Amino acid sequence: MTWQNSAITITTLLPIVGALGVLLVPKGDDRLVKGIGIAVTGVCLALAIAIAATYDYSATCAAPPCLQFVLNVAWIPVIGARYHVGIDGISMPLYVLTFLLGFLCAIYTGRYVPEPGRIKAFVALTLLLITGMAGTFIAFDLILFFVFWELVLVPMYFLIGVWGSANRQYASIKFFLYTLFGSVFMLLGFLALYFSGPVDALGKHTFDLAALTAFGAGGGYTHLFQLVVFGAIALGFAVKVPMWPFHTWLPDAHTEAPTIGSVLLAGVMLKMGTYGFVRIALPVLPQGAVAYAPWIGGLAAIAIVYAALACLAQKDLKRLIAFSSVGHMGFVMLGIATLTTIGIQAAIFGMVAHGVITGMLFFCVGSIYDRYHTREIADIGGGMSEIMPKMSGIFAFVAIASLGLPGLAGFWGEVMALLGSFSPNTSTVAGLNVGLFRAFMILGGIGTILTAGYFLWMLQRVNMGLAPERWKEHGFRDILTVEWVSWVPLLVLILVLGLIPSIVLNSTEQGVNQIVRIFGG
């Protein structure tokens, strides 16, 4: 047991230990439950930062994935599945982001426990969810990956279904069925990769992602196989992202979920899908990726414009933010579809930025709802800057970050994705159609304008104007200490990522280059 081979396992599985601990707390001791939640996620975050700090960013290796902190031991020998975890530059920002948001959510829970209470179950499920999400980013065995991937379903189902708002039952089962439907096809795709994949000296197949990547990148899978299996795997990822037209679960789930559920959904869970594309679908099935890239790019462009138009029509503040996620993830997918270094870099940066910004937006909306007890923009009726100047200032700051103002985190992901689609990867055998991707770029550009439009219009309707008398008499409290504590790290990050994007881009560069090299880039 050394720091190198145990750090990731301990960090990832600690929340489960915490969840079991929470269940053992005697009934009624809510403070202890909250305390355990904050302590466990805090330790996890500290460990994750320590991993990031002790990671050797200068190390190079021949083939992707370039892993450190590896632990690779037998798990299910009968089917050849192993417990293979590790981390590389691509996983690192997402892994740290998961624990950061988890920790901030735990702090937020210290003050805000959604109806109907049941704090023990709430904290335990949140901790289980964090393990599932974090595990997805460090699993390098397909079965292990799938287990972590599916581990998030049940806790999120209950978080939405028990602690959600009015339409929660419908939203929770819809979320569950959609994502399950996608992921079971993904599982069949994984099994197909296994049986058609490399065989070792003893005639055994492998689920090991590094081995499958080497095999797939070397052209081990036939073209037809790649087309079929990429479709199956991409379906699972696409539902999770969600790509248009598989997005319909998202507005419901995000809107009905309790605040921290929305934060974790938008902040981390959606990234599992895009991460899957970058980590598994692209490197293992490169020919499939080339064949599907124009379609993915097209759907992404549609998503950007569609989401912006949908946002313009929303009356519910939280639903508006939820729909904006569809557009932002559209930029991420557009970046991936270009199969270029800059595009995939944009995608990963976009994932992190969206996690920080949209997570923060959901915190804001949750706190606004806590004051007004309504999410209808018309009911809020404007004038928030008059009633709660600090809250409205932060809300405006985050909304402007989300619309992609240069200097803030939201900018880089979008502009790099558009740059990538200006010159998509044409060096592959089949090559991507430059004209087509430039059309996507133009659509994306229109999307950014519409995005600015709906966010500014939203700010105008919420922040500006004269506050209705009934709210003024109410005497809302402006931002509370607990909100400052859980928000400041995100606000700082929005600014830092906007000013120094290289803290993420440097970490991911090597891994992305290696993936793009598979496509001859």
- Where along the sequence are the contacts to other proteins (CB under 8 A)? 75-79, 128, 143, 147, 150-151, 153-154, 158, 161-162, 168-169, 173, 176-177, 180-181, 184-185, 187-188, 191-192, 194-195
Please say which residue, 29 or 376, places its beta carbon nearer to other proteins: 29
Please say which residue, 19 or 270, places its beta carbon nearer to other proteins: 19
CB of 274 to other proteins, least distance (A): 21
Is the four-CA dihedral 450, 455, 459, 461 of positive or negative sign?
positive
Please say which residue, 18 or 350, places its beta carbon nearer to other proteins: 18
CB of 214 to other proteins, least distance (A): 21
CB of 141 to other proteins, least distance (A): 13
Neighbour tally for 444: CB within 10 Å: 27
Token code pair at residue 267 = 């902040």
Cα 366–chain centre separation = 19
Non-local CB neighbours of 113 within 8 Å, separated by 6+ positions: 30, 119, 122
CB of 181 to other proteins, least distance (A): 5
In angstroms, the CA 76 to CA 205 distance is 13
Please say which residue, 46 or 73, places its beta carbon nearer to other proteins: 73
CB of 399 to other proteins, least distance (A): 33
Please say which residue, 181 or 457, places its beta carbon nearer to other proteins: 181
CB of 131 to other proteins, least distance (A): 10
Q: For residue 87, which phi and psi values (nearest 5 degrees)?
A: -145, 145
In angstroms, the CA 515 to CA 217 distance is 9
CB of 423 to other proteins, least distance (A): 39
In three-state secondary structure terms, 74 is strand
Query: How many H-runs (helices) and E-runs (strands) does the chain carry?
Result: 24, 2
Please say which residue, 123 or 333, places its beta carbon nearer to other proteins: 123
CB of 193 to other proteins, least distance (A): 10
For residue 202, CA distances in Å to 75, 80, 142, 198, 199 come to 18, 12, 20, 11, 8
Give the type of residue at 161. G
Please say which residue, 206 or 340, places its beta carbon nearer to other proteins: 206
φ/ψ region of 208 (left if φ > 0, alpha if ψ in -120 to 50, else beta) reads: beta
φ/ψ region of 508 (left if φ > 0, alpha if ψ in -120 to 50, else beta) reads: alpha
Please say which residue, 75 or 457, places its beta carbon nearer to other proteins: 75
Q: Which residue has the tokens 């929305």?
A: 262
